[in-house]
Amino acid sequence: MLENKQVTSEDAFKSNTVTIFLELNGMNVSTMALMQHQLQQHSNNVQQKTQIATSGSLQSAAQSTATLICNPSVRVYPIFYFNIEMNGSPCGRILIEIRNDVAPKMAKNFSALSTGELGFGYKGCQIFQCWENESIITGDFELNNGRGGRSVFEESFFMPDDTKILAIRGSVGMRRSQKRHDNLGLVGSQFRIILREMRGFTGIFAFVIEGLELVEKISQTGDSAGKPQSNIVIASCGKLQ
């Protein structure tokens, strides 16, 4: 009991000493407690703001990374425009971004046909085949029926680049020429815009980055045999960037 009383007396002495020190410095225990509370609150606010800023930075970085992965258009690839007319009236534009890094030969061919720099190309081409929610085909600038067209290269038809890109919705691929019956898979100028996955279709070299809704609308004009019931034409085309 004596030991406990001694400890209690010592604690009381310390408490009184602290109180006297604070009062000599113009502060009482309540003031000190208030200052400690304000200091702790400020520290918590700083920590919270730091966490929010860090979280925001991480979220922004994650969004940027996700954009880079999911949206090919943020990379620096050539983009081409195709202004479409249906039955003589403008109905919209399709933008196609080509992957010249993995498909250099197809990209060069498509670029020259889009700009018409060699005196022939996609301007004026009809969309001669389309199936609802599946695909549309164009690029036969000679006959507009799938049996014409050629590449810009000396050999007229060539083996497409092996890009290993999947034929999924929004992708664009070269169509095998119907002029040739050697089953070598050579391509010329015709290309297909895909609206749903097509396993086994190769020669993918580009993606639609704007105007896929228009492609869907065009696809709906085809009959059971894939023949459009409207006159759909590439009124003008060229390189956007």
SS3 124: coil
**Number of structural domains, the chain?**
2
Whether residues 91 and 52 fall in one domain: no
Whether residues 228 and 175 fall in one domain: yes
Instruction: Evaluate whether 187 touches 110 at the Cβ level (below 8 Å).
Output: no
Domain stops at, among 22, 47, 70: 70
Identify which of 166, 172, 165, 162 has the alpha carbon closest to the alpha carbon of residue 209.
172
- Distances in Å between the Cα of 146 and the Cα atoms of 40, 82, 91, 130, 179 are 77, 19, 23, 12, 8
C-alpha 82/C-alpha 136 separation (Å) is 14
Q: What is the pTM of this model?
A: 0.69
Instruction: Evaluate whether 84 touches 213 at the Cβ level (below 8 Å).
Output: no
Express each pLDDT in 183-224 by its tens digit. 788 999 999 999 999 998 999 999 999 999 999 999 999 999
Whether residues 161 and 52 fall in one domain: no
Give the pLDDT of the chain (241 residues) as one tens digit per residue: 444 444 444 554 444 444 444 444 444 444 455 555 555 665 565 555 545 444 444 454 445 444 444 555 456 899 999 999 999 999 999 999 999 999 999 999 999 999 999 999 999 999 999 999 999 999 999 999 999 999 999 999 999 999 999 999 999 999 988 776 667 889 999 999 999 999 989 999 999 999 999 999 999 999 999 999 999 999 999 999 7
Domain stops at, among 55, 70, 85: 70
- DSSP conformation class of 179: S
Q: How many CB atoms are closer than 10 A to CB 132? A: 16
Range of the domain at 54: 2-70
